[in-house]
């Protein structure tokens, strides 16, 4: 019998809940994907490039035109200049970028600090690289960093810290002041960063995203990851990118070329065209998703769920303590799906050690208005 390299890994909760939603006919507010299409001009561009014969391998690092558009967007968004050739790498999804960044620097025995609740791909990638994750719980309530816990978690074996802002599942944001605090904490240590910023353009209420790209001290030791799928409503395209200083990019690319080699060529051409023609898309995205958040939260206000509006991402956490405190969040998610027709994600799956008294589920509001209204009607009826 084979000895598994990932003995504790099974089917992800996202797959499980989406399958349950399909089986029961429930509205799927569990897995994080839109139920609407990306911009028609972007979709049309794919067919145009396929017909034009752009169907062979792209360069391993990504199409030059797309890398240049990423660099231009970074300059507009954050006021910093990155080298499109040496610092930007296009990858088949942000998850692959994270995997390659981890494998570029993590060796057997190294420790990687992750903040719970954290996205589920981080730890398996660390384990496969021979490392070990050290889990630091974010503060309950506002999901901010507990700086004492982080300081206590640092050791001579700490080689990487993984940040995620805007944060999945909570929607919490890391501020510039917190980035400064982190920089001071690790200034004298040989520690790398992954900054998972796939929701960078989904930040609400007039707040600006504090990107590691714009923090010179942190960027010098960082892999900054983002996602075209999240930004352009095409998650199934599985196309992302990673920006890192030239020396780190070179190490990441050594891994990337033997994992996927390159991304899907016509999709890269289409994205490059659309980004060049519509730089305003990312500027309009916060208002687009804030309107969905506000509609959904307004509709949920009469319900027995309690919540604070998410500061970013397209996820909304809701507390069900006043409804079924006898159920843990996994039981609650199944109950909501089977009995009330709305599929959600339990927050405990994002923790190494769940908080026993926490009663939170995650809802995705990247949905059409009709879907949000139907879901809210069902949830308010409970």
CA distance 27 to 367: 10
Per-residue pLDDT for the chain (382 aa), expressed as one digit of tens each?
889 999 888 878 888 899 999 999 999 999 899 999 999 999 999 999 999 999 999 999 999 999 999 999 999 999 999 999 999 999 999 999 999 999 999 999 999 999 999 999 999 999 999 999 999 999 999 999 999 999 999 999 999 999 999 999 999 999 999 999 999 999 999 999 999 999 999 999 999 999 999 999 999 999 999 999 999 999 999 999 999 999 999 999 999 999 999 999 999 999 999 999 999 999 999 999 999 999 999 999 999 999 999 999 999 999 999 999 999 999 999 999 999 999 999 999 999 999 999 999 999 999 999 999 999 999 999 9
Number of other residues whose CB lies within 10 A of the CB of residue 126 = 25
Does 46 share its domain with 23?
no
Specify if 5 maps to a domain: no
Task: Decide: helix, strand or coil at residue 224.
Answer: strand
CA distance 246 to 258: 19
Does 99 share its domain with 26?
no
Assess contact for 347 and 329: CB atoms under 8 A: yes
Does 243 share its domain with 329?
no
Specify if 1 maps to a domain: no
Specify if 75 maps to a domain: yes
Q: Print the domain residue range for 178.
A: 41-278
CA distance 319 to 313: 18
Does 271 share its domain with 290?
no
Domain boundary among 226, 247, 278: 278
pLDDT of residue 124: 96
Does 240 share its domain with 184?
yes
Does 184 share its domain with 301?
no
CATH at 344:
3.90.1150.10
307: Cα separation from own chain's centroid: 21
Specify if 256 maps to a domain: yes
Assess contact for 345 and 200: CB atoms under 8 A: no
Does 92 share its domain with 154?
yes
220 secondary structure, DSSP code:
T
Domain boundary among 278, 295, 323: 278
pLDDT of residue 15: 87
CA distance 249 to 189: 20
Does 267 share its domain with 345?
no
pLDDT of residue 326: 97
Does 274 share its domain with 287?
no
Q: Per the structure, how many domains does the chain have?
A: 2
- CA angle, corner 182, sides to 180 and 187, nearest 5? 95
Specify if 139 maps to a domain: yes
pLDDT of residue 126: 98
CA distance 116 to 241: 24
pLDDT of residue 12: 84
- CA angle, corner 349, sides to 343 and 350, nearest 5? 115
Does 258 share its domain with 296?
no
Assess contact for 125 and 159: CB atoms under 8 A: no
């Amino acid at each position: 019998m084979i000895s598994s390299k990932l003995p504790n890994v099974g089917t992800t909760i996202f797959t499980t809940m989406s399958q349950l939603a399909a089986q029961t006919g429930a509205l799927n507010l569990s897995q994080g994907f839109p139920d609407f299409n990306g911009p028609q001009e972007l979709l049309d561009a794919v067919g145009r490039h396929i017909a034009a014969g752009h169907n062979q391998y792209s360069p391993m690092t990504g199409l030059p035109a797309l890398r240049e558009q990423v660099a231009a967007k970074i300059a507009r968004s954050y006021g910093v200049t990155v080298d499109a050739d040496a610092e930007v790498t296009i990858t088949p999804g942000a998850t692959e970028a994270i995997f390659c960044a981890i494998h570029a620097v993590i060796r057997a025995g190294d420790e990687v600090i992750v903040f719970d609740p954290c996205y589920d791909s981080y730890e398996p990638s660390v384990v496969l690289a021979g490392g070990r994750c050290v889990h630091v719980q974010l503060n309950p309530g506002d999901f901010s960093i507990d700086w004492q816990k982080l300081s206590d978690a640092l050791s001579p074996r700490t080689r990487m810290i993984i940040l995620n802002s805007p944060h999945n599942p909570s929607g919490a944001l890391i501020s510039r002041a917190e980035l400064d605090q982190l920089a001071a904490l690790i200034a004298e240590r040989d520690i790398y960063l992954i900054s998972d910023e796939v929701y960078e353009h989904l930040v609400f209420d007039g707040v600006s995203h504090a990107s590691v790209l714009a923090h010179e001290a942190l960027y010098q030791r960082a892999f900054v990851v983002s996602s075209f799928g999240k930004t352009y409503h095409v998650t199934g395209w599985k196309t992302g990118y990673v920006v890192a200083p030239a020396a780190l990019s070179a190490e990441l690319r050594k891994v990337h070329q033997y994992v996927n080699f390159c991304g899907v060529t016509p999709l890269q051409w289409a994205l490059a065209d659309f980004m060049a023609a519509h730089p305003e898309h990312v500027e309009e995205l916060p208002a687009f998703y804030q309107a969905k958040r506000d509609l959904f939260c307004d509709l949920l206000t009469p319900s027995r769920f309690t919540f604070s509006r998410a500061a970013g991402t397209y996820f909304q956490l809701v507390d069900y303590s006043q409804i079924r405190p006898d159920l843990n969040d996994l039981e609650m998610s199944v109950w909501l799906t089977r009995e009330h027709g709305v599929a959600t994600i339990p927050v405990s799956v994002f923790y190494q050690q769940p908080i026993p008294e926490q009663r939170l589920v995650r809802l995705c509001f990247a949905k059409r208005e009709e879907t949000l209204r139907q879901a809210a009607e069902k949830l308010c009826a409970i």
